[in-house]
Amino acid sequence: MKKNKSMIFWFCLPALLSLLIMFVYPVCRTVAMSFFQVESLTASTADWSFYGLNNYLKIFKSQSFLTSMQNMLMIWVVGGVFTLALAMLMAVVVTSGIRGKKFFRAAIYMPNIISAVALATMWIQYIFQYDHGLLNEIVMLFGGDKIKWLGSDIKFWAMTASFIFGSVGYYMLIYISGIEGIPQDLFEAATIDGASKGKQFFSITLPLLKGVIKTSVTFWSINTTTFFLWTKMFSPIDTEQSTIVPVVYLYDTVFGGKGVINRDAGAGAAVGVVLTLIIIAVYVVTERLFRGSDLEY
């Protein structure tokens, strides 16, 4: 028995050490760094100067950070509503018994297979392009004037729409797995009782997908707070206020960027802590809102 316990310990040790070194230690160091004045990420702890809550006060006094938080909130709310609603609609349609179910499932999920860089490039070069982009060709077909889709006034919405397009398929699969886990006897009984498809959706499907919806909202929150690549693709040269998000602000603060002369790893760590607290808050709220679900994913 002791020999078996010893074997289990030695087998688990590499994973435990990896967890401590690559996750726990960086998290603890980042939290600690957020309370110190630190210029570089690689600076020795001997060079750290205690700063208290000043890093947090500094970022919340920054107009760029406040704008980035506002942009992130808009992506989370508006993008989340469209993404999760479309994903739910697609999942219900695909699982409704239509012909070619496998084809539609693969077609909707395909953008998730394509590299995000390639997907963003496709939207920028072939959809939103001013002279020969698909959207402007459609606008001109109906007699309208060309629109600068990548202009500073609507670039944010162009970026958000592209991100939604690339995200729907992922959440659709999550919903499909939840819907297919619901006992079919419930739908058969409801059909016999004369319940319409809409009635079945709101009375059976939606209530039993509370756990799946909770998971989707949590994943969407994480994807929104780590929103980096799409911003860099739509603003590749300089960080723009129309597309800036907290992770990009963090990057510019730590490694330097437009308008950033002095690098500040402490302030960057504070941004990371704030984003982590936001994800935790969203998880706690969704856990309370969707408590008592009968179906977990």
Q: Are the beta carbons of 197 and 231 closer than 8 angstroms?
A: no
d(CA 80, CA 247): 18
d(CA 294, CA 255): 47
* pLDDT value of position 264: 86
Nearest-10 Cα torsion for 241, 243, 247, 253? -30
- Structure token digits, residue 92: 């219900």
Backbone angles phi, psi at 113, to 5 degrees: -80, -35
Tens digit of each residue's pLDDT (9 = 90 or more) over 214-251: 899 999 999 999 888 899 889 887 888 888 999 999 98
Mean of the per-residue pLDDT values for the chain?
86
* pLDDT value of position 288: 85
CA distance between the termini of the chain: 36
Backbone angles phi, psi at 259, to 5 degrees: 80, 0
Position 295 pLDDT exceeds 60: no
Residue type for 34, please? S
Longest dimension (CA), the chain: 81
Tens digit of each residue's pLDDT (9 = 90 or more) over 274-289: 999 999 998 888 888 8
Q: What angle separates helix 54-61 from helix 265-289, to the nearest 10 degrees?
A: 80
d(CA 219, CA 174): 11
Report residue 2's pLDDT band, with 50, 70 and 90 as the boundaries.
low
**Quick one: what percent of the chain has pLDDT higher than 70?**
95
- Structure token digits, residue 82: 């469209």
Q: Which residue carries 């702890």 as its tokens?
A: 45
* pLDDT value of position 263: 80
Backbone angles phi, psi at 50, to 5 degrees: -60, 130
* pLDDT value of position 4: 72
Q: Please name the residues in contact with 144: beta carbons below 8 A apart, sequence gap of 6 or more.
A: none
